[in-house]
Amino acid sequence: MICAIDFGSCRIRSMFRNPQTPERLTMYSERSEYTLLGDTEQHRVALARQNLPYAECDQALVVFGNHAASAQWLSRVPRTALLTAGVVPSDDPPARQMLSLLTEAMLPDHSGSKDLCVLTIPGLRDGSDQAKKNEAFLYRLVQMRGYHPVVVNSAEAALLATCSDASFTGVCIVMGAETTTICVARYGMLIVSETIAIGGNCIDAELAKQFRMQMFDEAGTAYLDIESVRRWKLESGVDLKNPLGDRERMMAKLYTVALDRVTHAVREMLTSTPVLVALNKKRVSVMIAGGAAMVEGFTNLLTEQFIQRDIADQILSVRIAPDPETAVVRGALIFGELESRAMMTEKAA
């Protein structure tokens, strides 16, 4: 059995081939968040009427995963992320337990000692103690399911899923909720990669702050209503290159600032010695994935930033990946199948 799991700050996705029909893929997707409710009879009755499972924790009721959104109407505060800024919280034992339960539910039963699971690690992988602990915890969750875990860079995974027409050569950018990961590869072989601490959540939070999009609890405490911003982005048809109102202009400005950092990193990569040697100054395609990139006008705005950074002459094309939200988990599964073949070949040799 070979499977993949993408631990995202907004959603956790897993994918594997159906054991009965290997030509078909099975994918699970769960929100990486939870809703906290008071332990009252009214809440218990409401959850029972909706058939929503819940857990009891410190005189509270907890609804997590996809069910958290269904229970949101019972709470006056926003849902809580299971991964704080892309990191497994060290001071939130219930969140760690919920991550364990979701991982167990989303991965199939292992069938043997050779079972492989490829996982992506959220947050910055900068070698810090926090980053090491974050990777070790998620690695262990997969290991506890009986799999041999293999970690893959999210941009490298997305490249494998989306860049076959470019011979798996070029730049891949994955803009997620908390971080943006960038890689440059040649024929599927990673040359350089970098993760920067900027993503869709910081843009959404700033928009909610600037336009006072808030929720209030019973005590009158205000919370940023980031979920409303996310819905507005997807449902309003906003175009980053043709903003029509103050809110759209602010979002375009925030995306411009974010993409300026992204293009700066791309420029540093393309002008580095390893890339210059590997690509021999050939023009490359840029593939974009991740939920934060699913805004009209994103590619045009990114192209403008490439022009301002004076690297447009090195870029062949700028494209949004097909189904950009699932590109990483699809690529992780491909990585796992390639890794399994390589291991079998090595063993045979």
Distances (CA, A) of 49 to 71, 281, 349: 11, 63, 60
pLDDT of residue 346: 60
pLDDT of residue 345: 67
Strands (E), 39-95: 55-57, 60-64, 80-81
Q: For strands 284-289 and 315-320, give the pairing.
A: parallel
The whole-angstrom separation of Cα 87 and Cα 83 is 5
Helix (H, G, I), strand (E, B) or coil at 315: strand
Distances (CA, A) of 284 to 168, 264, 266: 10, 16, 12
Q: Over 80: is that where the pLDDT of 112 sits?
A: no
- Number of C-alpha atoms within 13 angstroms, CB side, residue 14? 19
Q: Over 70: is that where the pLDDT of 113 sits?
A: no
pLDDT in tens, 275-328: 999 998 899 999 999 999 999 999 999 999 999 999 999 999 999 999 999 999
The whole-angstrom separation of Cα 331 and Cα 189 is 14
Helix (H, G, I), strand (E, B) or coil at 3: strand
Q: Over 90: is that where the pLDDT of 333 sits?
A: yes
pLDDT in tens, 256-281: 999 999 999 999 999 999 999 999 88
pLDDT of residue 349: 52
pLDDT of residue 255: 96
pLDDT of residue 208: 94
Closest CA to 125 of 114, 136, 111, 117: 136
The whole-angstrom separation of Cα 149 and Cα 58 is 33
pTM of the model: 0.93
Query: What type of residue is 229?
Result: V
In DSSP terms, 185 is beta-bridged to: 170, 190
Contact 7, 121 (CB under 8 A): yes
Tokens of 179: 């971080």
Q: Over 60: is that where the pLDDT of 183 sits?
A: yes
pLDDT in tens, 136-161: 999 999 999 999 999 999 999 999 99
